[in-house]
Amino acid sequence: MIIMALNCGSSSVKYQLFDWERKEVVAKGMVERVIIGDSFIMHEVPGSETYRHEQDCPNHQAAIDLVIKTVTDPVHGVLKSVDEISAVGHRVVHGGEKFTCSVMIDKDVLDAVKDVQHLAPLHNPPNIEGIEAAQALMPNIPHVAIFDTAFHQTMPEHAYIYPLPYEWYEKYQVRRYGFHGTSHLYVSKRASVLLGKPPKDCNIITMHIGNGVSHCAIKNGVSVDTTMGLTPLEGAVMGTRCGDIDPAIPAFMMQKENLSAKEIDSILNKKSGVIGITGRFTDRRDVIENANNGDRRCRLSLEIEAYRLKKYIGAFMAAVGKLDAVVFTAGVGEMGALIREKAIEGLEHIGIILDRERNMGAMTRKRETLITTDDSPVKVLVIPTDEELVFTEDVVAILNGTYTDHMHFEYSFAKDDFVRK
């Protein structure tokens, strides 16, 4: 059984093929610059050189068609025919309040996703285009939606309702939703295995740190709070997003600079965060290198980001009670030893004792690592995320009729004998 995972962004299509019987990835890659011109595909097969091919993709259907042609190519592909694909799992960023777990896509589901696209105008439209394109190209197989927001639907009302006119929630669904749900799900389940306890007995703070950044407070195995809100703009400092700011600032700057709502939204989402502070960089490796070379604004960026991370650890520790572990994941979380160190140094008084040698050694995306001392009351773990495996297992379970929500469904990676390939 071959399962395809698709993640359609505004100008990209990321894909992975997973062989369920062999429990391994057989191919993965990405089509970049969809719609905007000079499109190309980067296709990876384990044990082979990465294949690059340039082909114009004016829309998502053309991009997915290129993916299918590439994975079935006689020289570079891994399948004889698209008919070998059993099902497709689609990442959908925003599911609103309707979806608490992954679902088979039918007309009603697709209509419901369209109904909430105003809540994620940058993300849901390309997700929808990807679903419709894939259904048109692969009409005879099941398509499943996996929602970024689903994992956080366990949040209590007092955590997700904003102190705004309540009518805004009733009329426009203005509330906290949270994102990166599949990542938080995966690493929290893995953390419970490493802690030797069932998820329902674990209190964990998961910190997904990449270009986008979100943290999750997990109490007794479920999400009770998260940093991102109605949109992915709220919360921590990110590569290009500001995160938490005084809500009066946008109106103030709109008046000062004569900016429209669309312009200020673009600045907060695309020109703020790390690139806003440094003026040049979003990649933390560049920030660290230039900070070490004396760039004051790069040093400032590191201090601001780490300080915000530290504050959220404290805030979420108050939310979950007795804390078992903090987990770092995603690109920066897995590779950014200096940022991890700055985020947790000085927290010995709340039970976090960093082992600097272990932390510096944990700069790989292939290994799960403890970076606190053996006697640290609270463990800090670096766990590489695997959102595509969550996609795959949800799809297979839905096909087999064994799927339930994550609190009752037993994922393979939540078992003691799981081995990451």
Pairing of strands 85-92, 143-147: parallel
Distance between CA atoms of 311 and 346, rounded to whole angstroms? 12
Q: What is the DSSP letter of 31?
A: E
Q: Residue 93, class by beta-carbon neighbours within 10 Å (0-12 exposed, 13-18 middle, 19+ buried)?
A: buried
Amino acid 415 reads K
Amino acid 250 reads P
* Residue in 212, 215, 189, 184 with CA at minimum distance from that of residue 202: 189
CB count in 10 Å sphere of residue 39: 22
* Residue in 98, 216, 146 with CA at minimum distance from that of residue 397: 146
Q: Are 12 and 30 a contacting pair, CB within 8 Å?
A: yes
Quote the distance between the C-alpha of residue 358 and its chain's center. Answer: 25
Catalytically active residues are 148
Q: Residue 24, class by beta-carbon neighbours within 10 Å (0-12 exposed, 13-18 middle, 19+ buried)?
A: exposed
Q: What are phi and psi of 205, to 5 degrees?
A: -110, 120
